[in-house]
Amino acid sequence: MIENGPGLRERNKRARRGAIIDAAQRLVREHGYDAVTTGQIAAEAGVSPRTFFNYFESKDEAVIGIRTDVGIDPGAARTFATGGPSGHLLTDLRALIGDMLDQLGDEPARVGAAVELIRREPRLLQHHQDAIERHRTELLALLEERRPAAPFAADAETVLAAAGAVVQATTLAWVRSGGGYGVQVHMPAAIDELRAILCEQPPEDIVAG
């Protein structure tokens, strides 16, 4: 069951953030990356330069629609590293990355526009890859920190690959739903779908032996 949407204050913040992304993507698409400044983006979005920097640290972040300082909640990270909140690795990974997914998510049209601009501007691709690598490094460190408290047999890299599949499947489910508030609410169904794929048995007539 999908939870209720955000309150008025949060909706206003999301609308302002969306307006900045839309302005950044539109200006870069029309004038080229080098010709656009953060001041122009702020003016196009109808906000002050100070407000722009409350939402994004750079032009790159606004065009991509992702803040590089968005990450795992420190409290959630501590809980995970000590073996919580449930002691079950997949369940706890879901809790760990769920809030981050909601912070990173945006409307599918904006995500699509960001992908297209990344293809046109290699500098944006590097910025995006740097952000992904920082999150990956953080998760690997937390997995190894958790191992003594709640041992698991798999290699941390393998666990991270599985988490990546969950994130991708969740994002796809969110896009298929039309987007909107909340990415992580689609995670349980995405995990069930992945489980069904991994546990599917081949037909008896092709099983060796």
The more confident residue out of 206 and 21 is 21
What are the extents of the domains in the chain? 8-65, 67-195
Q: What is the pLDDT of residues 104-133, one digit of tens each?
A: 555 778 878 888 898 888 888 887 788 778
Render 14-36 in DSSP notation, one character per residue. HHHHHHHHHHHHHHHHHH-GGG-
Q: What is the mean pLDDT of residues 22-42?
A: 96
Kindly provide the b/e burial profile for residues 97-107, where b requires at least 16 CB atoms within 10 angstroms of the residue's own CB. Answer: bbbbbbbbbbb
Return the higher-pLDDT residue of 48 and 114.
Answer: 48
**Is 50 exceeded by the pLDDT of residue 2?**
no
CATH superfamily of 8-65: Homeodomain-like (1.10.10.60)
Query: In whole angstroms, what is the distance from residue 149 CA to residue 85 CA?
Result: 12
pTM of this structure: 0.66
pLDDT in tens, 51-106: 999 999 899 989 988 765 566 888 889 999 999 999 999 889 888 887 777 765 55
Q: What is the pLDDT of residues 145-181, one digit of tens each?
A: 999 999 999 999 999 898 888 888 888 888 788 776 6
The mean pLDDT value for 185-200 works out to 86
Q: What percent of the chain has pLDDT over 90?
A: 39
H/E element holding 54? helix 49-55
Question: With contact defined as beta carbons under 8 Å apart, do 42 and 51 qualify?
Answer: yes
The 10 Å Cβ neighbour count of residue 140 is: 14
Burial class (CB in 10 A: 0-12, 13-18, 19+), 58: middle
